[in-house]
Copies of this chain bind each other. A is one copy, B any other.
């Protein structure tokens, strides 16, 4: 709704520098075969006029936008915000811009956003998880737009994956808790609908428990939004239900913080009466009482590595298409042995 065209354009620079537009263009694009003197004149002229190239025109002419899109569930969860932060930081060093979109965990909205991004001419797209509408991926593939999944290690034939194995993550938590002697377990998963990461962690957790010989009767699973409130409510359900667990695996540190809050309010001791295990290793993991045992998600690294992938040439990319980052179990004070069995550090993956 704005933008007068009082702007100086490339021709104006050319005129002032006493050369042709083509030469100015060459200087702008760092074409080495331009005489140093001429180059200097051009640079000076551009500066003097406060010339800023018109990105739309460049993009139209060169079919290069130096723009990537990122579609994440929300920026209100630190785990995604941090990823985008490092993604943008790295891309920005190479003058690549990031258009950010939030899907609110809805793959239909994600598809709409993806369409808009295609229209904007993004050269690649960063997605979260590996569950998307087939149309979304088909559209990107048809236009030859590279895409990367994050927070998962499951790539497609065409798209890369930079993340970790959520199934392993769930199993890691299960094994740690079982090793501590717990036999009555609970899980407060995040919302698993349309969230393959959350459901994979749940499946990994349950799968490992089964492998360890635990019966379904000994396990209760609930779901909660990624909010303190949700964690608190879910914990209440678990602890006042038929089979109160002695250890609970939460789909996020936020949920775990809520769970611990509930215990406090009810006089349930953590970890003496119940162990609480988080996920993400957010800053808040050090703020709960006791501090949270959790699994660290490499959010920052995922952003940086995804950026690296997108900056790479198609050839280089082939070796970067699937990157499984390792998960770190961070043992703090919210978990303890059920019976006098020695807690032991466990390291997977």
Contact = CB atoms under 8 A, between A and B. Distances in A.
Contacts of A25: none
Contacts of A288: 287
A186 B113 CA distance: 48
Nearest to A96: B116
A86 B3 CA distance: 25
- Among A139, A261, A283, residue most surrounded by chain B Cβ atoms (within 10 Å): A283
A257 interface: yes
Contact of A313 (B1, B67, B98, B289): B1
A140 B50 CA distance: 12
Contact of A63 (B3, B98, B146): B3
Contacts of A302: none
A54 interface: yes
Contacts of A287: 228, 257, 261, 284, 287-288
A70 to B, nearest CB: 9
A100 interface: yes
Interface string A130-161: 00000000010011111000000000000000
Contacts of A74: 85
A52 B118 contact: yes
A55 interface: yes
A109 to B, nearest CB: 9
A89 interface: yes
A228 B286 contact: yes
Interface residues of A, number: 67
Nearest to A2: B144
B75 A81 contact: yes
A286 to B, nearest CB: 6
A76 B84 CA distance: 9
25 contacts: A1-B123, A1-B313, A2-B123, A3-B143, A52-B118, A52-B119, A53-B119, A54-B119, A54-B121, A55-B119, A55-B120, A55-B121, A60-B60, A67-B99, A74-B85, A75-B82, A76-B78, A78-B81, A88-B102, A89-B102, A97-B117, A98-B99, A254-B283, A284-B284, A287-B288
Given A2-B145, A92-B101, 15 more contacts: A2-B144, A3-B121, A4-B144, A6-B144, A52-B143, A55-B120, A56-B56, A56-B59, A57-B60, A89-B102, A97-B116, A98-B100, A98-B101, A254-B283, A261-B287
Interface of A: 1-7, 50, 52-57, 59-60, 63-65, 67, 74-76, 78, 81-82, 84-85, 88-89, 92, 95, 97-102, 113, 115-121, 123-124, 139, 142-146, 227-228, 254, 257, 261, 283-284, 286-289, 313-314
Which 8 pairs of residues, A with B, have the shortest CB-CB distance? A56-B59, A75-B85, A81-B81, A56-B60, A75-B81, A287-B287, A55-B120, A100-B100
